[in-house]
Structure 1
């Protein structure tokens, strides 16, 4: 059975919910949100138990609903999950959970979205907001297939207790790697392995949270994506994590050269037994359901500009550095969602209009713009 909507949003995490919240404002009628999990919330319920935001509550809100409580505190994972589920209940949108999308393909000027249970949905506009959490990235390391110890990505890590008394190496130099290593250090002999020294950034320079400065200076929305992708990772810290690493004897070492069946060979050639390697090495954005749509390049990356796909009627929200530094954050996805919806709405209105009307009355002859 086919179901039709004005707009279909894929994913009910922060990006999908922000998009659904703004849809009516941009002229869309019925909005359908499809979510693979059994509840809204995206990746947040699956992060490790102790995760806390590095942005204060006042800078962690989606459009139309303030994050509750003291604006200067740093919310915990479960608070974010609760906030997103309250947000979802307030939306004027049809949210269908336990619906895994398998394909999104163009047909007769619209998009056909199919789910794994055989359901089929159509819309003139689709926004992909599924995020990257389901595609954790683990780099290939010499000897990786030989290692007989436990190897897990941070996506599968929950709490330190199961690692009590073990020898653990955490790989990565970002916020998650530091936070995980700091708490593992309390129960296990832990080392943080990175390719370069950790770039610490003060949480409250000159008495103001760094996110206040980001907004005040315009850095949050500056179109610096290409530069930021190549910039070294910085770790925001008010002092607690650096102190915890020191207190628990967690040392930082140069990334190991290879894995062995029993452990690692460090960059200086020394070999050491290791029980567990935790890879806090990020994620790679993938959209397998868009195979065959014409919007993915040969490496599977979406072709888009600021979230507007190269194929009419399709947009993206929640891509890191999509339009600025804050794009893939609670505080930034609303801005990107509004931009994408505005462009999709305009494109939808232009469909069916005569060519001379779409071009402002200018004939598109031999001297006109090339397509």
Structure 2
């Protein structure tokens, strides 16, 4: 069965919901296709101790502030899931789940979105599938030799799973720091980073990062010199658990090893460390396989865009994948503005 509609939004996480809010406000006929069984996007799959970088007041989607979480300055992932669930109900967003989108194809004046639940002929598509579903693992010699456990951030849940074990955490970003801090008290931890970790000042949270990213984008759009944005401030937000472990001297780092062995890892100078587990906190790539039929992929797997609009297909907008699809658009506080701009352009196109 094929349905005709103005707009299909692919993904029912925070970016998809923000797009839905603005589509609803403009009275467009749309549907949101979400591969997950329940509300909350990637947040419902996060590790147990994950908290936001910002207070609830600075972590809201458009139109509805996130309520404070009792006893928490920075809400945890479970609170975010509750908020997103309430948000989609409040605005009665037309979400179909679980629906696995298989591809987006050109079909004359339409884009045809095929899925395991049917097809939609849309005048425009907003892809908001995120990155969580495409974890990145670097290629390191010996990965197939190591007999211990290897997992990515997406598979990590709790330090109780590793109590008393020798654990190597790889990655110098926020995920690496937070997972290392989580494990620092109950494991024999080795935190490995490619360069010494750069902690942001303790008083910097997500709100300041959003303002910095926005200021950089405005400067670039105006032809001014690149300020460096968030990257100029550091790599790691010092959320309370990270700050506490750091100040307790538990977050010492080692340089990146050169290979894995059967029992652990080895550095260039021959030094070895045994390990029961290696946790790869090495980031993500945009989950864009459903857009492959359009033939738009560019360098680094990104689709070239002007703002959120795909340069090679003006009926397609990409939302929430990172700064290349809008400043801070992969964050709760930042995605609203990018969603508003994308939906305005869609509305103009449909007119």
**TM-score greater than 0.5 by the shorter chain:** yes
How far is 1:161 from its partner? 0.6
Residue aligning to 2:56? 57
How far is 1:196 from its partner? 0.6
> Please, which of 312, 332, 335 is the counterpart of residue 333 of structure 1?
335
How far is 1:346 from its partner? 1.2
Q: Deviations over 1:42-87 (max 9, x none)?
A: 1110110110011121110000000102799211000000000100
Residue aligning to 1:149? 148
Residue aligning to 1:173? 172
Give the conservation status (yes or no) of the 8 Å contact 1:137–1:284: yes
Give the conservation status (yes or no) of the 8 Å contact 1:220–1:324: no
SS in 2 for 1:237: coil
C-alpha change, 1:131 and 1:223, in structure 2 (3 Å) is farther
Q: Which consecutive aligned stretches of 4+ in structure 1 deviate over 4 angstroms post-superposition?
A: 223-233
Q: Structure 2, unaligned stretches of length 5 or more?
A: none
Measure the CA separation in 2 of the matches of 1:217 and 1:106: 34
Which is further off, 276-285 or 295-304?
295-304
Residue aligning to 2:112? 112
How far is 1:322 from its partner? 2.8
Q: How does 1:137-286 map to 2 (within 5 A)?
A: 137-204=136-203, 211-212=207-208, 215=211, 219=215, 222=218, 227=228, 234-237=235-238, 240-245=241-246, 247=248, 249-286=250-287
Residue aligning to 2:308? 307
Measure the CA separation in 2 of the matches of 1:314 and 1:168: 43
Give the conservation status (yes or no) of the 8 Å contact 1:40–1:97: no
Q: Deviations over 1:264-304 (max 9, x none)?
A: 01244201211110001110113111122132237643232
Measure the CA separation in 2 of the matches of 1:216 and 1:341: 24
C-alpha change, 1:204 and 1:8, in structure 2 (3 Å) is same
Give the conservation status (yes or no) of the 8 Å contact 1:313–1:348: no
C-alpha change, 1:216 and 1:288, in structure 2 (3 Å) is closer
Tell me the matched-pair count: 344
Give the conservation status (yes or no) of the 8 Å contact 2:215–2:229: no
How far is 1:328 from its partner? 1.0
SS in 1 for 2:112: strand
How far is 1:133 from its partner? 0.5
RMSD (Å) for aligned C-alpha atoms: 2.5
Q: What TM-score, normalized by structure 1, do the two folds share?
A: 0.85
C-alpha change, 1:247 and 1:331, in structure 2 (3 Å) is same
